[in-house]
Amino acid sequence: MVSHETACILNTSDEEAHIVLLIYFSDRHPAGPYQISIPPRRTKHIRFNNLEDPEPIPKDTDYASVFSSDVPVIVQHSRLDSRQPENALLTTIAYSE
């Protein structure tokens, strides 16, 4: 089993959402910006391990993510952490307006 983190983004508006994702670390400058687009009235799942442009996210490092969007979207972030003997599932909802 490998760790995976995903973000589910919901755009309920009638316009395409253009999202900028930044990844923060404890010991280096932030990674990104990653560009994500969501069509109007659609959802999109982002798998952090699949992010590659401008750089992949280091696999064994803790990080935090911040989404900025030009239209209001809802971001639900889930983490299944296999590095701990107990599986840690973190889920959070953030509103960007």
Shortest gap between Cβ of 39 and a second copy (angstroms)? 9
Shortest gap between Cβ of 68 and a second copy (angstroms)? 10
Shortest gap between Cβ of 69 and a second copy (angstroms)? 15
Is the distance from CB of 48 to CB of 58 less than 8 angstroms?
no
Is the distance from CB of 9 to CB of 65 less than 8 angstroms?
no
Instruction: Characterise 30 by phi-psi region: left (phi > 0), alpha (psi -120 to 50), beta (else).
Output: beta
Per CB under 8 A, residues contacting a second copy are: 1, 8, 10, 12, 22, 24-27, 29-30, 41-45, 62-64, 66, 74, 76, 78, 80, 84-94
Return the ∠ at Cα 47 (arms to 44 and 51), rounded to 5°: 110
If the CB atoms of residues 53 and 89 are measured against a second copy, the closer one turns out to be 89
If the CB atoms of residues 53 and 86 are measured against a second copy, the closer one turns out to be 86
